[in-house]
Amino acid sequence: MSREIEAVETAVLSGGPHERGRTHGEEFAAETEHNVEVYFDRFAYHGADESTVREQAAEFTTFIEDENPTYFREMEGVAEGSSVPIEEIAMLNARWEVMYSALADEAEEVDGCTGFGIQQEVTADGNAYMGQNWDWIPPIETFVMDLRQADGPNMVMMTEAGIVGGKIGVNEHGIGMTCNVMISDSDGENPYRKPMHVRFREAMNAKRLDKAISPLITGDRAVSANVILGHAAGEFIDLELAPEHVNYLYPEQGILTHTNHFEGGGVESQFETLLPDTLCRAPRLRRLLERESGQIDVETLQQGLRDHFGKPASICRHPDQELDERERLQTDGSYVIDLENRSLHATNGPPCERSYAEFTVAG
């Protein structure tokens, strides 16, 4: 089956934080402005007027500057380069937290991501792999940051235009990360805590796996999320992050899969009541990969991420036409990380319709 090749946008962001941010803003000015408009529209759809969102975004601007001045300087560079106000850039970078602090009716945003980590014992080439499908609303603009930092490790990371932190990628030390939304009963009770995207960047600036874990679990959070961290040596940990509780999960028989519901205890998991398919996608991907145990390679992982069991609510997700247009999700990007080779294989859109492009961390 032939697949459309739609370019995955990328940019080299080098130098210090302001320089990196300015390049980000200049090269993705239209895309950043577009994302701001999409999120303002989405907040309004859920009941939060623009003035309320702007008020909360201004609070987060100051909060991020206090929590991580380096991150803030990079945001300032994005704002300067794109001519988008710094408060709007802060809104993007704290969009999960703004959702809970600003919404008038409900703050339950759902994505449908499916993630994995694969140890060397079950791969064909002896490399460790990880990755995910990132399922979200269709109009969001993304790109791969080729970060060449003067003050930290080089890395390749997928991000939404305007967001400094990144979401999915690998750094020069062989540390990789994936992330997705979860929902617990305590989300949003205390929104003014260090935003998830700030934590993601702090994790990926680490040289050791334990140092990558630390910013994710230290200090309470405003919202829930699931993060898989991996290392080229084959060590993986899944962090189920609730505002004031963390569960730790590990691979079984060399394979770790996770979707959007809490599997550990201590938390009232709520995502599955909104998207019950989360209960199916993780075991489905595990089954597909277990069949190939010992022979798993990049192509095996890509094929697993193209799976359509339960379509449209499948691992490779497609818009459900029965839902309101603004409630529809699709796989906006698919990612396979080769931790040994420090490379990210990525698509722009559903992997069943796209070819993967490869990005490697600068040496």
pLDDT in tens, 347-358: 999 999 999 999
| pLDDT at residue 112, rounded to an integer | 84
Segment 98-133, tens digit of pLDDT = 887 665 445 556 778 999 999 999 999 999 999 999
What mean pLDDT do residues 222-246 have?
97
* pLDDT at 144 (0 to 100): 98
Torsion of CA 188, 189, 193, 198, to 10 degrees: -20
Q: What is the pLDDT of residues 266-308, one digit of tens each?
A: 999 999 998 999 999 999 999 999 999 999 999 999 999 999 9
Which of 48-57, 141-150, 316-325 ranks highest by mean pLDDT?
Answer: 141-150
Other beta carbons less than 10 A from residue 125's beta carbon: 13
